[in-house]
A and B are shown apart, each in its own frame.
Chain A
Amino acid sequence: MTHIFRLLSVLLLLAVPSVALAQQPLQVDIARGHLEPTPIAIPDFITAGGTDTRGADIAGVIAADLESSGLFTTVDPRAFIENIQDFNLRPRFQDWRVINADALLIGQVTRQSDGRLLVGFRLWDTRLQEQMVGLQFVTAPENWRRVAHRVADAVYERLTGESGYFDTRVIYVSEGVGPRGEPVRRLAMMDQDGANPSFLTDRSYWSLLPNYSPSNQQITYVSFLDGQATTYVYDLESGRQEALFASGGTGLARVDPDGQSLSARFSPDGEQLAVSIELQAGHDIHLFDLRSRNLRRLTEHPADDVEPSFSPEGDQIVFSSSRSGGSQLYVIPVNGGDAQRVSFGAGRYTAPVWSPRGDLIAFVKQHNGQFSLGVLDAGGSGEERILYQGYYVDTPAWSPNGRVILFTRGDRGRDGTEYEIWSVDLAGFNLQRMPITGQSSDPAWSPLIE
């Protein structure tokens, strides 16, 4: 299913001696960088040995990654003066300063005798004339895109001080209509930049609301394979999947289903699922221990408690509930205690997702016929910030570093709402459509792939 590979070696290149200058090193402000994106020059990676080493393709993927963050702008290669031929020589910095390249990324690809690619890069601060980071990777040629994403992550991390998110994948729901007009909902998977799309489930049943495990090896999703919404755990390596509930107690939870079960999210240690399960009196949040297979009821209220999400420490869960009338957001400790309301603005709040940093909760708000994507203070102050407003919003998904949110955006179409996955950064800037063919929804963003 997923092709996991290991980058065989990651070596720090020896820093080339530099001239020390009393200047600030190049730094990209992640909160304000979009106002003045940092210019970076990325020449095609040099082909040092062999042919067809994808030096230009690798540079292209890195450039697209960095530009997609909104924090960088790449300098037009037609403006380049120096034609770098030797990866190990210090660049002529003046040539890069005059074309306003604050950063210069040069790289080299070598096809080794064993057929694998050796990809090395150096990131230069052109003003300080210093190497900021240099790494090299060895990998099978078919993994060249992943190496490019790893380089982009290293550049992003060095310049912003925060971990990157380019070597990641997105699982989502591909929405369509079958030959007889029936709705089709299939799980699909792609690289974060839209490359390598593939389907995980077929069109014979609906697949909805996927979520990643922290180990990257499994997902949960809601399947209609058994006729009604049922939580499934799906192993990405083997393609094997198991229902949380199945009649006769044959599911993971070993109890008969009482009703439907909905989206499940993994605890940060990967050992538990938080999931909303329908009982006679409505939906309540439950904790399912994947090892002991013990199912524990966490909330007990006649109103529907749905859409649970763990805090990054794993000690609290945020969920949405109609217990006070319209849907609002509540936080409940995992080990006992009352639920505290954390949303207070006008409108109905749904789809809460705790940020990987812990301080914010992303949400969807519905008010006066408009939908908003926002973030609010997880501490309960009620303070919130709207990042996007439009006709329809659902299912926020955080980037692993907590700086970008993917979400389902709906717009009024000829045949009802049309759904696409969009991204926006935490400041509400850099709104972009994900490059997916056809309608799509329910993004789940993978952890950084090891």
Chain B
Amino acid sequence: MKFKLVLIAGMTAFLAACASTPPQTTTEAPTQEPPRTTRTETPGPVDQGPVPGTEAHFVATAGDRVFYDLDRSTLTSAGRETLRRQADWLNAYQGVNILIAGNCDERGTREYNLALGARRANAARDYLVSLGVSPSRIQTVSYGKERPSCRESGERCWSLNRNATTMISGGVTG
């Protein structure tokens, strides 16, 4: 059973995953202007390391994505290793729910890749469940080839785009 996705959470994670342009920019507020309402972004916080229980903490300690071979949805040994760390983390932060998105490289038809992406997400989910993560905490979705984290045309990017990416979808606890 799947549920409606928290799109905002997914989009934020996607942007974070891109890592090329952070969405916020730091701007100093002008100091010599006459008093009036100015509108600038609040300066970003100083990095103190990820707060435990947050998505950043999850990514730093467990790793948020597992990779698949070309046209495959079976887990690699490296993938299983990552998922074991994810399961440890999720078992430590029981209040956290996740969304696993299956992704594909762009070298296949659109519908074929939507199906393949679902298999990849499901393979990751099933392994987490086998490690004790409750299935009620996990949603899955396939983005097929529609949401590549790496955009160049070439095997380096394609291999990065063949993945299942785990995102925190709600219920974050400290």
Residues of chain A having any CB pair with chain B under 8 Å: 180-183, 185, 206, 208-209, 222, 226-229, 247, 256-260, 262-263, 276, 278, 282-283, 304, 306-307, 320, 326-327, 348, 350-351, 364, 366, 369, 392, 394-395, 410, 412-413, 415-417, 441-442
Contacts and interface: CB of A to CB of B under 8 A. Distances in A.
Contacts of A306: 111-112, 114-115
Contact of A283 (B118, B141, B152): B118
Contacts of B5: 227-228
Interface of B: 1-7, 11, 14-15, 18, 21, 23, 71, 106-112, 114-116, 118-119, 141-142, 144, 146-148, 151-153, 157
B125 to A, nearest CB: 11
B114 A366 contact: no
Given A222-B114, A256-B1, A262-B114, 16 more contacts: A180-B11, A181-B21, A185-B146, A227-B6, A247-B3, A258-B2, A259-B2, A260-B142, A276-B111, A307-B111, A307-B112, A351-B109, A410-B106, A413-B153, A415-B151, A416-B157
Contact of A350 (B109, B141, B151): B109
20 contacts: A180-B23, A182-B14, A182-B15, A209-B110, A209-B111, A227-B4, A228-B141, A228-B142, A229-B142, A229-B144, A260-B142, A262-B111, A262-B115, A263-B111, A276-B115, A306-B112, A307-B109, A413-B153, A417-B106, A442-B110
Contacts of B119: 282, 304
B118 A278 contact: yes
B106 A392 contact: yes
B119 to A, nearest CB: 7
B146 A206 contact: yes
Contacts of A369: 107
In the complex, the 3 A-B pairs of residues with the closest C-beta atoms, listed nearest first? A227-B5, A304-B115, A416-B151
A306 B110 CA distance: 11
A35 B141 CA distance: 50
B15 A260 contact: no
Nearest to B154: A412
Given A227-B5, A304-B119, A366-B108, A180 B15 contact: yes
Contacts of B118: 259-260, 278, 283
Is chain A's interface secondary structure helix, strand, loop, or mixed overall?
strand
B160 to A, nearest CB: 12
A206 B145 CA distance: 13
Given A182-B14, A209-B110, A326-B71, A226 B4 contact: yes
Contacts of B142: 228-229, 260
A188 B69 CA distance: 35
Contacts of A394: 109-110
B114 A260 contact: yes
B162 to A, nearest CB: 14
Given A181-B21, A416-B152, A258 B1 contact: yes
A283 B113 CA distance: 12
A417 B152 CA distance: 8
Nearest to A182: B11
A61 B6 CA distance: 48
Nearest to B161: A416
B21 A327 contact: no
